[in-house]
Each structure stands twice: as structure tokens, then as C-alpha cells.
Amino acid sequence: MKQIPAPFWTLVLGIAVTLISLWVGQNHNLLPVQASEQAPLVDDLFNVMVTIGTALFIVVQGAIIYSMVRFRQPKGDETDGLPIKGNLPLEVFWTAIPSVIVVGLGLYSVVVFQEMGGFSPGGHHNHGTMVAMAPQQTVIDVAPLLAQVPEDDVFSRAQVYGFGAGTQSLGNAPDLTVNVTGMQYAWIFTYPDTNIIDGELHVPVGQDVQLIIEAKDVIHSFWVPQFRLKQDALPGESAELRFVATREGTYPVVCAELCGAYHGGMRTQVIVHSTEDYADWMASRVAEAGSTTAVAQSRSDATDGEYLAAIAPNLAKSPVQIAQMAPVTP
């Protein structure tokens, strides 16, 4: 029987590895639901990385398993293996392929970063600003403003987003601005147009939202995994984070920067409403504007028991648990 040539097997295995890797890259289910305009940009890059990683894993592990079986030591053979020293073509191959992959992923990530607004237009740079909006996205309720902008500016509107992007042009004005303050260990959201203060972020779906983020005490980091957004909050320096939510629902807001003993408890949520529900929520809060209910406060001076009682009322607060969380003194 004629032996099947090695190039044929190489082709078949290559096709199999490619198909398996592509399927895994699109069906890994490792990321949370997409809930913002820029989330698909991040997810597409992640899918490419998973696809490449799967292919490399199959090839490397497959070669190891094949070698273990094909070149295993025969029973009773206690001699040494053949002395092999170096293989220049192989070394060039396994150096060149990872280099090409790393450079390609680096360039792709730069493109994604740019499309998300990571680079400022015209070289202007303002530290700490991150805009999360897909390019050439039509923003709700700004058609009259866009009509006043020259046609050339409309088609290049995406270029005004980035580090330092604010409201340089009419077409770049957000639908909603919210001031965000990070403090140990809470997030405070202030709506400057209505003076509403809340411990949760409420936004309408499909509208351009700009957050002005700062910290009151130490460095915090505002992170919404479903939005694929993360922006540091620095004391004494404001940062901008801009996005368009695309899916109604409630999503966690997490502090992603170690900020103290109770960093893990610094969590709240962003609630994405329909346009009608958001209007109703805003109206109800405006009607309550005369009340002076505190929505959050710093717990940095609280005891362990007081803090746990505030963030986890249903948590068993035994003396042993409290003692385990207490700072250890030498």
C-alpha cells in the first residue's frame, strides 16, 4: 500500500487546526454580555487572540503528544538518545512566527484603541481621558446640532473624540453628563443639570453619556465589565469617560484599583433605562430634590463591624469573622 505523503497530512492537520481554532474563538463564552457601542471592538480583538492561542495550544501540545508516542523509548532499551545539537531552520521558524503574531496583534490593538477614541485629535493630549464610542455613531437628539456643522466636520466627527475630547464642536456635545466621585469606599454620581445625587449610575439606552471622574482621597478605578470600560479616578485631577449604552439592564460598577482595606466592597451598579423609564426616573428624583437623604458616605473611620453591617446586612458577623478581617499588627 502506497504511503500517504507528509505534505497531505500537513495540509489536513492545518485545515483541522484552523477550523477548530476559529470555532473556539467565536464560541468561548468567556466575556460578559455586550452592553455598549465599543464592546464589539474589544471583543473582536479578544476573539482573534483566543483563536490564535487555541491554534498554538493545539500545535504545541499535539507535537508533544506525537513525540511522546512516536519517539518513545522501546521496552528494554536503556541506551542514550541521539545527540542533537541545534536546528537553525527550526529556531528561525519558532522565533519568526511568534514575532509576526505579536506585531500583528499589537497593530490591531492600536487600531482598536484608536477607534475607541484612545488617541487625541491633532496631537492634543490630556492625561486620564478615555472615550468609549464607536466611530461615526449617530447620537440621538443631536440632528439639529449636526445640521449646523459643515459637512466636512460631520464626516470627520469621530476624530474629535479621544484623550482630551470634550465639547470642542457642536456635533461632539454629549446627551448627558454625569460627575463621578470615587471615595473610600463608594461611588457618588452627580447630575449637574438637575443636582441629583445618587449612589447608582442611571443612564438612558442609546444616548451619548460623558462621565467626569475624579477621586476624593486615593486612586480608584471605575470599571463596568459589560461596557468594556475602565478609567482611573485620580485625586485632584478629573478624567473623562464617554460611552453609549446599547442594552437595557443593571450592570455592576467595580473599583479596579486597590484603594484600601475594603476595596472589595467598593461596588455599585449602572442601570440602563429605556428613554421613557429614564425620563420617569429623572422626574421622580427631581420631585424628591427637596429631601436630604444621604446616598453614600465614607466609611474610612468606621470599625470593621460597622462597615460590614453597612455593606452586607445579611452577613454573619461573628467575633471570629471580625477578628480575621482586623488589621494584623506586628
* DSSP class per residue in 235-261: BTB-EEEEEEB-S-EEEEEEE-S--ST
- The answer to whether the CB of 25 falls within 8 A of the CB of 51 is yes
Predicted pLDDT of residue 178:
93
pLDDT tens, 242-254? 889 999 999 999 9
Give every CB contact of residue 243 below 8 A, 6+ residues apart in sequence.
Answer: 36, 37, 38, 131, 132, 133, 209, 211, 227, 229
Predicted pLDDT of residue 136:
41
Predicted pLDDT of residue 329:
47
- The answer to whether the CB of 232 falls within 8 A of the CB of 219 is yes
Predicted pLDDT of residue 149:
42
Apex 36 CA angle, 31 and 39, nearest 5: 45
In this prediction, the residues of the chain whose per-residue pLDDT falls under 50 are: 121-165, 168-170, 293-294, 314-330
Predicted pLDDT of residue 298:
55
Predicted pLDDT of residue 305:
59
Predicted pLDDT of residue 72:
85
What φ, ψ does residue 203 adopt, rounded to 5°?
A: -140, 155
Give the DSSP H/E element, type plus range, for residue 154: helix 151-155
